[in-house]
Structure 1
Amino acid sequence: MSHGLCYSLSEGNSVPLAFSESWQVLGPFQIGTREATWGADPLEYLGGFRSLEYNKNDKFTSSLPLEGAAKWSSVNGKQIASTPSSANVSLSISFPGVDWAFLKGVYGWAAVQYQAWVRGEIIVTSKETQSVVLYTDMVLEYWIDGVCYFGGDFYGFRKAPPVLHLEPGSHRIDVRLVRDMRAMGDMLDPTIDVILELNRTSGSLELVKPGILMADVVNSGKLASPIGSIYVRNSGTNDIEITGVQSGDADITLVNKDPKLVVVGGQTRPIALNIESLKRKFNPACIEDELPLSIEVELNYKVANLDGEVFTLTASQDLTIRNIFSPHKVTYLHPGAIVSYAILRPPVFSSTCLFGVRRSLPVLLQLHGAGLEADSEEVAHALDPVSDLCAWVLFPTGVTPWSADDWHNWGFADVEQAVRNIPSWMEAVGWRGPDADINRWVVSGHSNGGQGTWYSVTHRPDNIIAAAPVSGYSSIQRYVPYELWQPMDPRRSAIISASLNSYRHEMLMANAKGIPIFHQHGDKDDNVPVYHSRLLRQLLFQHGTKTSYYELPGQGHWFEGIMTTPQLQCFYRTYTSDVETTARPLEDFDIVVADPGDMGSKGGVKVLQLEDPGQYGQVQVIYDNSLKTCTIKTSNVLALQLQIGYFRLSAISIDGSALELAEDSAISSKLVDLTKDVEDQTWKVGSLQGSKSTDDILNRRGRQLGAMTAILRSTGPFTIRHQGNETAHIALQISRNLHQYFYADSSIVYPVSHEKNSPGNVISVAIGAALPRCAHSSFPIQVKEKSISIRDSVGRHKTFGGDQSLAAIFLRPLNGERLELVVWGSDSEGLSQAARLVPMLTGVGQPDFVVLTEAARWIGVEGAVTMGFLDHAWNVTRSSLV
């Protein structure tokens, strides 16, 4: 392989790093939407791309190219550059020999998704080992010198690149290319464009990026919020302990009160700060003290477990001063204990908005599209033409430009926390204007934010006054179809599909009944087809919901002013001026629930538990206002909760069982739990658990409910515990991916311990029999040295394992509604395979437990020997595959 590079190894070389000029390419091969996480790489059947050497005469079977044969080729980097501190290369890979137009005509966008591999080299021309970070824009997986790195940086966030310590000489890099429609867009001749970049590091603690995430200063001279964050990376090999923080410009402390805040070698962590007050600077020329123009923060650190020298890392941030009535940045702690932000525009002081005494105004949520920051001009000022609305206008970020996970678990928790933060903002700035009704929302959003609007409507119906999805897609699966996955039997595909049930809004339209909805969509939209809005409008009609619908003639996906068309302005003004502060009661309605853990109430009825979480639950409610009776019929529902404030009831009939509430002392509270007996199927007043003690781990509830993505409902930093050197690489990879895709924080702990005092969820990384014992005494999944045993829904035990490598990933309960995610392998290869399924990208579809053989590397989901769901008592469900 000719690289076109002629560098000498010398200490004085001013360009110590370089990428090769020529790269070897092998492909294309079939891949389905978001399938790469499961493996599904046909070259793994041959030992993987890493085991193959370039030979232009070799052919590899593939379903895409001419004659069904993929071949080697070569390509030169489009841009190759090296400086004393960096090196980069951009690659554009295409396969013109494939009839993409014909395939697309049959299979749609799914057909222009494919995978391939490319091989090049990193050359260290210096005689010294180079510590570098590697940015991998639009890449999901790569191997360096035979070591696998899974996760990459598929969206180009550049938040948590790996730290590499490269010795002098040549280092082979094999990059897996995966074309994804949502991330890369549609092209008639689909290419994959990636950027690889190396930057030299300090070899110690350093800032991930300059500056401090902090709130704006409003014209009261006060920070809109006291919470801030610095992002740091340990680019050395020794673990580093953060010992404190100080500032000459502000009174400041660390939010994390742990005695040891450790950043392990190669890890990136956000450091949350409490900026209690700004220190004003006295200017003799002015009567009043002045604010500093910027603040400087010093982070103190030392090598962990040593009493050596304390070092200082300095970060500074210019202060931004905004008018209090203009959109400005506010910060707060996400439930995962990281600092997030939103853009807030409080209501103006006017006779209309100040009607009454301390009138509570609703919150108008605007959810941005994919790839956008909430503080961008495009988002933060989208509603400037309606600056006089009587509402608290809030632009959440969802934590990341891709809203973390499509405004679902992690991203929607950010939305709700941003809303809950409004009273804290009032206190911080000394607000004396209208109050905020943080339980009543008008929701709108564009594109992915339009999809997020549908999620809000279907999952928090009692909070929604009205909704306006704009150019939004109906579900992940319908946006880019899940065709062209590797073949799998229908039962496996059903389990994958069921783990995404909560995001299939087409199935949840019944939940929108009674909510005024205005659709807007350009009829020439080539990004999100207008079909999505037309379909959901049809489904809403079939569920008895009337909507207002407007197609923008001749308009595409986006144009300036799309969020303030005359029709939308009318919508905003109509529903933010609505003085009703309680939900409109419905005489009859249905509820469809996929995951009670992310579902709120509708009409005062909330589903708490499903009998089988692998299937939808349904509730039909008929309320007789004259008799004050409520008739409820259920399907696949185990427990309900009623908000008595919605009803003045004398009796309830549920599935034919009459419950005389007026004579039952259990209804003295505002919330009443109803539970079905699993044996005789009769209903009773009372909770499923009997006791809601936080130490009760025998019953699954609350934040523990849902598929594997429930692990993202952490109420503190993640704790990643592992066994030592053999598992350290995977523990660090998981931490890196959590931060890259969710900006999440995690503490990496060795040796393995239960970490009982940790407030957040736990991820346990283990090989063989060293996995800590489960806190649940009769948990159905048990591991041994080379095998794993599962008790099925009827009590039979089945053991998997033997000579082949085995991988497993599954949820286990912890106290206080916390979860543990076990990432296990019978050997290091199995562990690496299991780690791929730690939730990262949306739409992958991970159920509660999965056990994989090594065949999954090339056949994908079909390589799962067992997979499925765990019920309310942590038993394997009937719908699982065992």
Structure 2
Amino acid sequence: MRFREIITTPTWETIGPFPSGTRELPFLGSPLAAYSTPSADPDIEFAHRPYNPEETWPSELGNGGRVSWSRFEAKGDWLEISYPDIHWDQLRSDHGWSALQYMVLLRTRLTIPKSGHKPLTPILINMLQLPEFAFVQQDADPHTSGPVKWYQGNSYSFGGPTPGLNSTNSINLAAAKFERSLLLEPGAYIMLARAVYDIRQFGDPGPGNPPTIKMSSVNMVHDTEKHVTQLSQEMGAFPSVFSGWLMGEWASVGIRVPEGALETTIIGVGKTEITCKSKNAEPLKSALAVEIVSDIRIVPGQTRLIAMRIRQKATLSPETRILSISIDFQSGGTTRALEWSFPLHHVTYDNHSNLAAENSHFWITFASPSLITDSRLSHLPAHVSSAMIVPPKRSVRHDAETPPVLLALHGAGVDVKNSEWGERMPGVPGAWAVLPIGKNEWGEDWHGGSMEDAWAARAAVEVQLGKVGIALSNKTV
């Protein structure tokens, strides 16, 4: 498969700011609708409206109750939007922090190239920290075209950089987990967007600082052949190897079928191989058995996490390095395979000192939202989740009571895998720490399913460490 980046004009033209309550945007239309031509689509009219800084619209946030056009220049894939001339401190003193929340309408221009002989061009688009976006053809008539189709962006930056922060690793942002697959006619477009400053997402700017929206737009043409089922290796979960044993019976990997491709059915695992560090070591082909317990259907435009059950029959030597799995699928009447290779993460544990090696946090996997221990399970779990486990940094006296397990819930927007969260666990002698993901970086505010995920992680670590003879306290703090 090949990707070509779509060149977008770096200049974004905006109208705003307009007041916006927390999570109100999906229920609101264009703030310009009341002032548009009655017979015209307000979004298309905004797309074609001449840029005129003298033109104004009512907004309680603007000085004198009016706001106008502004221009902002993107730096690479990132764009920062702020309005330092607005009296933000005065608004806050009158109405509280909610007065800092606002939305703006944005537009820029891009050209979708032709892809081979296809009438429609498949693209991947990743809008980070941006709620909604749309495409309007340059020759669209506001009176006869429309309504405009709006797409949901990656508002909370799932799988991207830390929410609210900038990033210099721009080209890799296209590989973040939740890019959208679209089919568009080749040609010139005006790209519309609705951006929101949410104080719970971007943080409090502090006195004297304007609230600033930081967003990223990465658009790529997806040049592919007819069969384009793809492995999305940045998604999914795989357990660590602790003293020779996998810390979980489940693994998952993402598989994407782009728009315009053929429907795909995942039918099973063809082969499993383990490669070792030493050329003299023999691959332990019989140590693991990996299976997909039922067929999984993926329709065009969809990305799914494929759950696989792992049955371990023997311990894995520290020499083992890479697990390779062949995933069989059917598409268009043809059976093909995707090759997934995953590096094995080994952690050693000293039974005498009851301590693992330094910096030896590791990962467990489990069936979420509840622990499934029935070996006869013949159906897929709702989700394969994972949690970071931090072993004790200091041992406890042999005659002392085993300390409770620390269940540490991360804050909003914290990516457990790519943060210092695990390093900051207090060094309580003999205490093991469980750091659940809670299904995503935001932990769903630790309600409902995310809290079930946390307790499932707490139960799972007890089962997994039992494989190597480690008994945990039945208490949790």
TM superposition score normalised by structure 1: 0.42
CA distance in 1 between counterparts of 2:72 and 2:403 reads 59
Query: Which residue of 320, 332, 335 corresponds with 1:292?
Result: 320
> How many Å apart are 1:184 and its aligned residue?
1.2
Deviation of 1:119 (Å): 0.7
CA distance in 1, matches of 2:234, 2:152: 27
Q: Are the structure 2 counterparts of residues 16 and 323 from structure 1 closer, same or farther at C-alpha, using a change threshold of 3 Å?
A: closer
2:92 and 2:438 mapped to 1: Cα distance? 33
- Among 187, 211, 215, the alignment partner of 1:194 is 215
Structure 1 residues 185 and 212, CA, compared in 2 at 3 Å: closer, same or farther? closer
CA distance 1:36–1:25, shift in 2 (3 Å): same
Q: 2:406 maps to which residue?
A: 364
Mapped partners of 2:5, 2:251: distance in 1: 37
Relative distance call for 1:294 and 1:106 in structure 2 (3 A) is: same
CA distance in 1, matches of 2:245, 2:198: 45
Check conservation: 1:244, 1:253, Cα contact below 8 A: no
In structure 1, what residue type is equivalent to 2:367? L
Q: Which has the higher contact order (CA 8 A, sep 6+)?
A: 2
Matched, 1:119 2:107: yes
Residue 424 and residue 271 in structure 1: after superposition, are their counterparts in 2 closer, same or farther (change >3 A)? same
**One-letter amino acid of the counterpart of residue 51, structure 1:** E
Q: Is the 8 A contact 2:158 2:178 kept in 1?
A: no
Preserved CA contact (<8 Å) 1:234 1:264: yes
Higher helix share: 1
Residue 265 of structure 1 and its aligned partner are, at CA, apart by 0.6
Aligned pair partner of 1:409 in 444, 448, 462: 448
Partner secondary structure for residue 18 of structure 1: coil
> Quick one: distance in 2 between partners of 1:280 and 1:364?
28
User: In the alignment, which residue of structure 2 is the partner of 1:54?
Assistant: 49
> In the alignment, which residue of structure 1 is the partner of 2:306?
271
The answer to whether the 8 A contact 2:177-2:234 is kept is no
Match of 1:400 among 440, 450, 457: 440
Q: 2:458 aligns with which of 413, 416, 419?
A: 419
Structure 2 residue 213 is the aligned partner of structure 1 residue 224: no
- In structure 2, the residue matched to 1:169 is 187
Q: Deviations over 1:360-414 (max 9, x none)?
A: 753221112223233446222222533x23x4421112122222x1111121111
Structure 1 unaligned runs (5+)? 1-13, 80-88, 282-288, 443-882
1:419 shift after superposition: 1.3
1:90 aligns with 2:127: no
1:293 partner SS: strand
User: Residue 150 of structure 2: which of 145, 148, 166 is its match?
Assistant: 148
Alpha carbons 1:142, 1:152 under 8 Å: kept: no
Q: Is contact 2:113-2:121 (8 Å) kept?
A: no
Q: Is the contact between residue 241 and residue 263 of structure 1 (CA under 8 Å) also seen in structure 2?
A: yes
Preserved CA contact (<8 Å) 1:49 1:117: no
8 Å CA contact 1:212, 1:316 repeated in 2 = no
**Deviation sequence 1:784-809 (CA, Å, 0-9, x none):** xxxxxxxxxxxxxxxxxxxxxxxxxx
Contact 1:17 1:124 in 2 (8 A): yes
Is residue 181 from structure 1 mapped to residue 181 from structure 2 by the alignment?
no
The number of equivalent residue pairs is 397
Does the CA contact (< 8 Å) of 2:249 and 2:365 recur in 1?
A: yes
Supply the distance in 2 between the matched residues of 1:400 and 1:291 (Cα, whole angstroms).
33
Q: What SS class does the counterpart of residue 427 from structure 2 fall into? A: helix
The residue number in structure 2 matching 1:379 is: 421
Q: Give the Cα separation in 2 of the matches to 1:435 and 1:138.
A: 40
1: distance between equivalents of 2:245 and 2:69? Answer: 62
State the Cα distance separating 1:105 from its structure 2 match.
2.2
Find the aligned partners of 1:263 and 1:143 in 2 and give their Cα distance: 25
Q: 1:35 maps to which residue?
A: 24
Cα distance in 1 for residues equivalent to 2:399 and 2:29: 60
What is the rounded CA distance, in whole Å, between the counterparts of 2:289 and 2:219 in structure 1? Answer: 34
Matched, 1:76 2:73: yes
Whole-angstrom distance in 2 between the partners of 1:394 and 1:102:
44
Which residue of structure 2 lines up, in the alignment, with residue 235 of structure 1? 258
Shift of the alpha carbon at 1:217?
0.9
1:329 paired with 2:374, answer no
Question: Which structure 2 segments of 5+ residues have no match?
Answer: 137-147, 160-175, 275-284, 350-354, 370-380
The residue that corresponds to 1:339 in the other structure is 384
| Kept in 1: contact 2:125–2:220 (CA 8 A) | yes
User: Percent identity over the alignment?
Assistant: 25
Q: Structure 1 residue 159 and structure 2 residue 161: aligned?
A: no
Larger radius of gyration: 1
1:100 and 2:100 aligned: no
Do the aligned partners of 1:136 and 1:156 also contact (CA within 8 Å) in 2? Answer: no
What is the match of residue 286 of structure 1? none
**3-state secondary structure, aligned to 2:424:** coil
Instruction: Give the CA deviation at 1:66.
Output: 2.3
| Cα deviation digits, residues 10-32 of structure 1 (max 9, x gap) | xxxx9672112332211111111
Contact 1:210–1:316 under 8 Å retained in 2: no
> Which position in structure 2 is the counterpart of 1:430?
468
CA distance in 1, matches of 2:95, 2:184: 44
Q: TM-score, normalised by structure 2?
A: 0.75
Contact 1:293 1:319 in 2 (8 A): yes
Cα distance change, pair 17–345 in 1 and its aligned pair in 2 (3 A): closer
